[in-house]
């Protein structure tokens, strides 16, 4: 009797796993056509492609999550990854300039390339980025993905490319794109509304990545270090920042977890020593990968909360 039960259990387990395997590999109930292979330069674009493409696409990300993007360079294995993709999604604006070199050395037939910054009004590079070796290829600020307003436009270009590559998925992509767009537009509205009564005109950031937020919602950013995480601020830069924070009563410094805190902490203690204030260091995400349990949209939302604190400080 006991043996019989065991045997039955075993059979059931095996057939259940077999069923699971077959759905994993074939999924007979859905479309039989193979998935569209999407390769995105980095996390925010991969996130958008995944949101819009859903089950009809497989998405790969070239730059590992939460890696400093400006100094990153592709290797041979990255070239192979690009060559295997049906759709390649770029940020543009000088961020992933090296992709052009990859395209020149692989077979591009049948490949669709989407530059998500194409046709967008890009800002010229700010002070912190000038003369940077890593970004010498571009004259524009590439950080469009941090602005929900600009991100809608990027998502739109990804959506069009997926429809072009896989026209039978048009309706599916359309629905999913509309949902993402709605979320981003809602965020844009909240940024406008919730930052409307700001009391400060400028924020202090480790890395000047928030130019598109600043331009759209009416404030300025002042960076401590340059474009690269290992770049150092001069003593003069730090002194100017201390003056600026003191004069404008700025008591918040923003830092993305991907960047070193050392200069931020130096500035914090300098201002605290001079004024006797408590200076708060807050996270402002670059959205280069999931962080603190937050995905791309979660980080854009957290950024709004953080900006409220700094810009509404009395």
Interface ranges with Zn ion (CB under 5 A)? 209
What are the E-state strand segments in the chain? 36-40, 57-61, 87-90, 112-115, 202-205, 220-223, 252-255, 280-283
Sequence-distant (6+) residues with CB within 8 A of 231 are: 132, 225
By Cβ distance, which residue is nearest to Zn ion? 209
Interatomic CA distance for residues 54 and 269, integer angstroms:
47
Report yes or no: 150 and 48 within 8 Å, Cβ to Cβ. Answer: no
Could you tell me the maximum CA-CA distance found in the chain, to the nearest angstrom?
A: 85
CB of 70 to Zn ion, least distance (A): 6
CA 240 to chain centre: 30
CB 208, min distance to Zn ion, A: 8
Q: Least separation, in Å, of the C-beta of 269 and Zn ion?
A: 25
Q: DSSP string spanning 142-156? A: --GGGSHHHHHHHHH
Task: Write down the least CB distance from residue 89 to Zn ion, Å.
Answer: 18
Taking the complex as a whole, the smallest distance from the CB of residue 71 to Zn ion amounts, in Å, to 10
Min CB(252)–Zn ion separation in Å = 20
Cα(195)–Cα(222) distance, integer angstroms: 18
The smaller minimum CB distance to Zn ion, of residues 173 and 222, is found at: 222
CA dihedral 180, 186, 187, 191 (to 10 degrees): 160
Minimum distance of Zn ion from residue 209's CB (angstroms): 4
| Nearer residue to Zn ion within complex by CB, 65 or 192 | 65
Residue 166 DSSP SS3:
coil
Query: Nearer Cβ to Zn ion, position 209 or 300?
Result: 209
Q: Count Cβ atoms within 10 A of the Cβ of residue 124 and give its class: 0-12 exposed, 13-18 middle, 19 or more buried.
A: exposed
Quick count: other Cβ atoms within 10 Å of Cβ 202? 16
Residue 35 or residue 283: which is nearer to Zn ion going by CB? Answer: 283
């Amino acid at each position: 009797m006991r043996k019989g039960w065991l045997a039955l259990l075993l059979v059931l387990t095996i057939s259940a796993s077999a069923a699971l395997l077959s759905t994993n590999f074939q999924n007979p109930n859905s479309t039989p056509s193979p998935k569209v292979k999407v390769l995105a330069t980095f996390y925010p674009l991969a996130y958008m492609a995944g949101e819009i493409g859903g089950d009809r696409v497989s998405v790969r990300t070239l730059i590992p999550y939460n890696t400093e993007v400006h100094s990153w360079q592709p290797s041979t294995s990255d070239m192979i990854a690009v060559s295997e993709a049906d759709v390649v999604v770029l940020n543009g604006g000088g961020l992933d300039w090296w992709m052009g070199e990859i395209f020149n050395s692989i077979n591009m037939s049948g490949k669709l390339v989407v530059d998500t910054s194409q046709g967008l009004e890009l800002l010229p590079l700010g002070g912190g980025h000038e003369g940077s070796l890593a970004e010498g290829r571009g004259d524009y600020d590439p950080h469009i993905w941090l602005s929900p307003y600009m991100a809608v436009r990027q998502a739109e270009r990804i959506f069009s490319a997926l429809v072009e590559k896989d026209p039978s998925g048009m309706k599916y992509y359309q629905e999913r794109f509309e949902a993402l767009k709605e979320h981003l537009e809602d965020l844009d509205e909240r940024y406008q509304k919730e930052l409307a009564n700001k009391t400060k005109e400028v924020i202090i950031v480790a890395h000047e990545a928030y130019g598109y937020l600043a331009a759209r919602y009416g404030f300025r950013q002042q960076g401590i270090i340059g474009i690269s995480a290992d770049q150092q601020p001069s003593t003069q830069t730090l002194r100017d920042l201390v003056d600026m924070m003191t004069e404008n009563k700025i008591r918040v410094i923003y830092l993305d977890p991907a960047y070193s805190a050392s200069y931020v902490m130096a500035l914090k203690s300098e201002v605290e020593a001079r004024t006797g204030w408590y200076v708060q260091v807050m996270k402002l995400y670059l959205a280069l990968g999931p962080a603190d349990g937050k995905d791309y949209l979660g980080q854009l939302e957290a950024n709004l909360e953080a900006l409220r604190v700094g810009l509404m400080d009395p």
